[in-house]
Amino acid sequence: MFLFKKTFGVRIWTFFKVPMLFLMRPVVHSLDEKHAEISIRLGYFTKNHFKSMYAGVLVAGADLGCGLLAMEIAKKNRGKILLLFKDIQASFYKRAMGRTLFVCNDGELISQAVLKAIRSGERQNLIVAVKAFCPDISEELVAEFKMTLSLKNV
């Protein structure tokens, strides 16, 4: 029930704030203070003419996985933060030919940065890693992202 509510909440938020993400229909598989896992299905709006996932969709999935984790941590610490990504470095290893799972395990780093941003009021920047897999096809890494997350208390 918890994950259904999280998925529903993410979809409502994306419908009003980032409609392109809404069309990708993200699903929350796991979300706690240490890591986040979301997936995006390969479908009409997410595949290219090679029948694999667009690079833009992969980057958007990584953005959502990391950003959702940061928003969840801020919410649990009763803080209101602005977050954006200043820099993204991506390495693509294979074509994503199916449902793609985005995993961010940097919850502890994000938590420290969120708490520091809330306390100090200054902008905090940190590099966060997100990995992408196609678990229905193989356990091999599809893509890896290094994203500079910028947080500021509102």
Report pLDDT digits (tens) over 52-99: 999 999 999 999 999 999 998 888 888 788 999 999 999 999 999 999
Residue 152 domain flag: no
Residue 41 has pLDDT above 60, yes or no: yes
Assigned domain for 153 exists: no
pLDDT band for 2, please (50, 70, 90 cuts): low
Do the domain assignments include residue 25? yes
In a domain, 12, yes or no: yes
CATH code of the domain containing 35: 3.10.129.10
Assigned domain for 10 exists: yes
Q: Which residues contact 50 (CB under 8 A, 6 or more apart)?
A: 95
Average pLDDT estimate for 118-147? 93
Q: How far apart are CA 96 and CA 13, in angstroms?
A: 26
Does 154 reside within a domain? Answer: no
- pLDDT category of residue 149 using cuts at 50, 70 and 90: very high
Global pTM?
0.92
Quickly state the pLDDT bin for 44 (edges 50, 70, 90): very high
Task: Measure the CA–CA gap between 127 and 85, rounded to whole angstroms.
Answer: 10
Instruction: Please give the residue range of the domain that contains residue 91.
Output: 2-140
Residue 148 lies in a domain: no
Q: Report the number of distinct structural domains present in the chain.
A: 1
Is residue 149 in some structural domain?
no
Tell me if 24 sits within 8 A of 61, measured CB to CB. Answer: yes
Residue type at 145 in one-letter notation: F
